[in-house]
């Protein structure tokens, strides 16, 4: 067992999750990998055991299935060796809002928002009691940009951002570090699975570059990491504008523009 402890990574069989597994293994962390595709996880685990010597434990699970989600929650609650949770599992749906039926929408919310929240909820009390631990959640710049047209997907990713910022407020003083990573288009299988051609997009980041940038933000202890954003001051200005608006939101009376003319 590594003296650094373990990292539990969801959606770990391919894409962003698999690269996170590689990078944390090379940093000397043992791994707990969670995904539906057991065969691909096993192939990844064999390679990482050989190349890095870390322990790799596999948990095949569908996080939209209550039994699978409960299994991972229990592991997070009970395994004191796990010091980092990477909430990476996620999906996009075909088409726009009018193309997506209620079941499609519910499944998307279940994986991208409910599972993320439940896994954080399972591990946060243990981290807070220990005064240490990290929760990384993969959001998206789509959560900042309704103009991109991925309405439900973007709403779930906006939820991930708010959840992370809220957890930072509640848990930061207790020694728990939380990070939201907001990728732009990244070359992963999510595009093919949602019926989109990744090669038709104007700008696509390679997954290795995305994860390495996200880990640079992790090392810097950023609460929000946007690997594709060239000017950090743009995010700083957005946050400053939001903070400046906050006192004006807390009013006893409606704003004058909403009152009847006298």
**Catalytic option among 29, 153, 177, 258:** 153
Task: Tell me if 111 sits within 8 A of 63, measured CB to CB.
Answer: yes
Has 153 been annotated as catalytic? yes
Map tokens 């051609």 to a residue. Answer: 197
CA distances to 140, 141, 142, 226 from 185, in Å? 9, 9, 9, 12
**Mean pLDDT, rounded, for 204-214:** 93
Q: How confident is the model at residue 249 (pLDDT cuts 50, 70, 90)?
A: very high
Per-domain boundaries in the chain: 6-231
* Whole-prediction pTM: 0.93
CATH code, 6-231: 3.40.50.720
Q: Which phi and psi angles does 167 have, rounded to 5°?
A: -65, -35
- pLDDT for 95: 84
pLDDT of residue 226: 97
**The pLDDT of residue 1:** 62
Q: Provide the pLDDT confidence category of residue 228 given band limits of 50, 70 and 90.
A: very high
For 25-29, 90-94, 164-168, which range has the lowest pLDDT when averaged over its residues? Answer: 90-94
Reply yes or no on whether the pLDDT at 194 is more than 70: no
């Amino acid at each position: 067992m590594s003296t650094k402890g373990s990292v539990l990574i969801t959606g770990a069989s391919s894409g962003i999750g698999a690269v996170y597994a590689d990078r944390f293994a090379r940093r000397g962390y043992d791994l707990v990998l969670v995904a539906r595709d057991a065969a691909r996880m096993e192939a990844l685990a064999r390679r990482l055991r050989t190349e890095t010597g870390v322990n790799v434990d596999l948990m095949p699970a569908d996080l939209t299935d209550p039994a699978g989600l409960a299994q991972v929650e229990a592991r997070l609650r009970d395994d004191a060796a796990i010091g980092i949770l990477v909430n990476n599992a996620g999906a996009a749906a075909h088409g726009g809002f009018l193309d997506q039926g209620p079941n499609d929408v519910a499944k998307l919310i279940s994986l991208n928002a409910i599972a993320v929240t439940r896994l954080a909820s399972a591990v946060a009390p243990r981290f807070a009691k220990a005064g240490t631990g990290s929760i990384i959640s993969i959001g998206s710049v789509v959560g900042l940009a309704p103009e991109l047209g991925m309405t439900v997907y973007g709403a779930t990713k906006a939820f991930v951002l708010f959840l992370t910022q809220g957890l930072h407020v509640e848990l930061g003083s207790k020694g728990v570090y939380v990070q939201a990573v907001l990728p732009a288009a990244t070359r992963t299988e999510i595009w093919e699975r949602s019926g989109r051609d990744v090669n038709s997009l104007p700008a696509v980041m390679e997954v290795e570059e995305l994860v390495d940038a996200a880990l640079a933000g992790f090392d810097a202890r950023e609460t929000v990491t946007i690997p594709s954003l060239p000017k950090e001051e743009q995010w700083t200005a957005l946050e400053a504008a939001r903070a400046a608006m906050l006192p004006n939101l807390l009013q006893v009376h409606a704003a004058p523009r909403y009152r009847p003319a006298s």
